[in-house]
Amino acid sequence: MQVAIYAGKDPGGKRFLTTLQRRISRQEIRAWEVRRKKPLTLVHSGDRYAAVRVTFAPAGTPTFSRAARAGALGAFRTPEPALLANISSGSSADRVLGFLVGMLTRHAEPLGVSGVGIPLQPDSTR
């Protein structure tokens, strides 16, 4: 499952990533924990959802390019998003998707998020 993240004044997503990490470390965003910094990987704080990881891939990285070539961006390929959040598969992935979109919309202004898109892939088994 992917989420396309648009950051209006931050085309590479660097400001978004550093601000998100800083807000989580200062506990301004308490529902998420950083598992890895490169690439930024988060897990939801609830024990029930700890197995599902969210990894952010900025535009221009090999991970982002592979997803774009594979058609994972769907209708969100033009204009290209600044980042792509990949949610690992698992029984709670749909709940984590809801939590991620909620966090992105609640903290949109400080993170610089101007839009969020969820490409749907009906032929996918995820």
pLDDT tens for 68-126 read: 888 777 777 778 899 999 999 888 899 999 999 999 999 999 999 999 998 876 544 44
For 5-28, write each residue's pLDDT tens digit. Answer: 999 888 889 999 999 999 999 999
Question: Going by C-beta distance under 8 Å and a sequence separation of 6 or more, which residues neighbour residue 2?
Answer: 67, 72, 73, 84, 85, 86, 87, 118, 119
**Helix, strand and coil percent figures for the chain, each rounded to 5:** 35, 25, 40
